[in-house]
Structure 1
Amino acid sequence: QAKCAPRVLIQIPTRYTAYAAQITDERIYAIRQLRRIVEDAGLRVEAAFGYGDVTATRRQIWLRLLLPRAVWRAMQNLGFAYSIAVMGRVTG
């Protein structure tokens, strides 16, 4: 993919996807593992983030309601989200 475009965005579900539906053939990676895959492909990581509020249980709903938005986004960017994404840029 890096040979076809100057930037590549890789988005995958996280383990929290199991709350929404059964995990079938997806490989589950942590955000640091996905960053490493992008780096190993010879790309420079431009952005890495999580998105999709994990609010399947009462505890998660209360966390979402009580935590400041900045803390919640930091948690998402560490992988507490339904999906994670990493954008890599071709170097050189």
Structure 2
Amino acid sequence: MCKEAGCGCCAVTVTSPSSDLGKLETYSVQSCVTPLYAVDGWQINTIEGIGSQKKGFHPIQERIAKFNGTQCGYCTPGFVMNMYG
């Protein structure tokens, strides 16, 4: 892990209780700069968790592929998870 959050390939989507409202919030974080002790009680979803060849792809994944939205492919999962979050 780079501990810099520069490329975004480590992006994951988390669902956690909101500190002020007590409701659940979903948003993207860079896992390389998120301390492990901070994620207690969070639900964490990775790129593999939202879609795959076996389960079927998420609409975001399908559109990126359909419209050639990838670069080298290394940071594409980060693009998807940021859009998903």
> Same fold, TM exceeding 0.5?
no
> Which protein has greater RCO, CA pairs closer than 8 Å, 6+ apart?
1
More strand per residue: 1 or 2?
Answer: 1
